[in-house]
Amino acid sequence: MHHVSLIVEFLRGRPAVVFWTVALTQGLLWTVIPSVFYSAPPGDVPLLLAIGHELMLGSYLGAPLAFWLGEIAFRIGGLPGLYALSQICVVTTFWAVFTLGRSVVGTRHAVLGILLMAGVTAFTVPSPDFGPAVLAAPFWALALLHYWRAVGEQQRGAWFLLALDLGLLLLTNYIGVILLVLLIAFTLAVPRGRQALAHLEPWIGFVLFAIVIFPHAAWLSGQREFIVAGFREGFLADAAATGQFSPGLRFCLALAATHAGLALLVALASGWPRQRRDRAPAIDRPPAETVARYYIYFFALMPAAIAIALAFAGGRQLEPLGLLGSLAPLVVLSGLAIVVVAGDEVLLYRERMVSSVWLAFLIAPPLMVVFSLTAVPWTSASDLRIAQPAMAEAQFFAESYQRRTGKPLAFVTGDERLAPLIALMAPGRPRVFFAWAPQRSPWVSVDDVAKDGAVLVWPAENNATPPAALKTQFPTMVPELPRSFARTVQGRLPPIRLGWSVLRPQATP
């Protein structure tokens, strides 16, 4: 007698329960682990919040919605609130793909597609690093869902939701242009799409879409010099990057790496190599429509193909558009596409091994993060960003400035990585001046910083001398003795040593 694993039984009998259990468990893990164990936010979160603090209509990093929502979440719930927002984005993405899958291949196979997403690393380890790519994923998935309802299921009211999804997607990440172009192409290519254009709802939706993106489009129209400068910087960086992988090749490698876990799950579930006597439980579904299958294939493959072509053609000049760091939206349909390819009856060979590996993909990454934070300082010289004593650093510099000037800290500047981090964690949320690229912080100038005062910070592990650029911008600065900070788990690593200077505010006449 062949016994099947418990997860297969649940998948057959309670597929919706399996989906919500998986999605909410992953969201809870990646909210709690960073909130408890990270002493500093990951990735570019400090930079994102430094820009979001200004509530501008756009920046050199692109559209503003992710920066606005990140700032709102941080003001409401601090860093745990920001981590929770990231996981809300991930769970919403899973729900949209699950709902689309139910319409195309039925509930059971839709859950299989979501289970395969545990092997797509873009939705696991990097997900606490909230930014435009993380926020773009749910809008991308919701746009695919509402487009299918509007065209595939002929629900005319879905056109309005689609317009809202696309508008918010373009307010989040310019990679949404790829999806917009592909949706137009698919609409013109299939009979249902051309028939839908004969109704009034798509055109009203277009007006709604234009209203949503109008404020940012108006801002862009007045930033031509800024945009040209960004592309020029990308061109110079591309020309100077000799001996490195091209952006197109790095993008391909990143796409392949993010699908490595999914490929392993598929290989194990297929049972290859297997013998004739091997038996496997079957999970069946009603036949999928031809146009539905083509829809899934088209939007699972074409966005990544176009992004790869752009990465090879444009190189680092596309970095101002945010295309090279936006993997999550491009892979939302990867799991569902595999399930559609598998056919109307999916045979799960080695179901116990597959279940164990899948459970490892769900639980092991957050546990490995905890292990790295506690064990790496004792075994390696690696300095993890999430292990920086950000709170202690910010408290020291803010209090030092307060004691010396009698005023709260207004600005932090200096190092590209340290200044946003210290400003984020300091009392009163001082603003950040981008001394490393002043044109990227148009909300403040060198004269403003000199007038109101600031703290200047820079790494001083090997040399306590301040960077020459800071001395040029602030010739009156007087460097202080470097300050050392201990990590929560110090291990064999040396203390963090930071150079700093207090720039006193100018006396008011």
Q: What is the pLDDT of residue 234?
A: 47
Which neighbouring-strand residues pair with 501?
A: 456
200 contact partners, CB below 8 Å, separation of at least 6: none
The parts of the chain modelled with pLDDT lower than 70 are 1-10, 224-245, 272-280, 314-325, 507-509
Dist. CA 473–CA 414, nearest whole Å? 10
Cβ 234 vs Cβ 323: under 8 Å:
no
How many other CB atoms sit within 10 Å of the CB of residue 275? 6
Cβ 170 vs Cβ 176: under 8 Å:
yes
Helices 418-425, 390-405: crossing angle, 10 deg rounding: 80
Q: Enter the tokens of residue 500.
A: 């700093």
Dist. CA 308–CA 257, nearest whole Å? 14
Cβ 378 vs Cβ 491: under 8 Å:
yes
The SS3 call for residue 378 is: helix
Dist. CA 426–CA 88, nearest whole Å? 27
Dist. CA 347–CA 362, nearest whole Å? 22
If phi > 0 it is left, if psi is from -120 to 50 it is alpha, else beta; for residue 310 that is: alpha
Cβ 349 vs Cβ 271: under 8 Å:
yes
37 contact partners, CB below 8 Å, separation of at least 6: 369, 370, 373, 386
Dist. CA 8–CA 13, nearest whole Å? 9
Q: Enter the tokens of residue 140.
A: 């991308």
Q: What is the pLDDT of residue 476?
A: 87
Q: What is the pLDDT of residue 325?
A: 62
Q: How far is CA 170 from CA 78, 140, 288, in A?
A: 26, 10, 31
Q: Indicate the pairing of strand 483-485 with strand 454-459.
A: unpaired
Please choose, from the candidates 336, 86, 329, 302, the residue with its C-alpha nearest in 3D space to the C-alpha of residue 181: 302
Dist. CA 317–CA 278, nearest whole Å? 53
Q: What is the pLDDT of residue 196?
A: 92
The pTM for the full model equals: 0.91
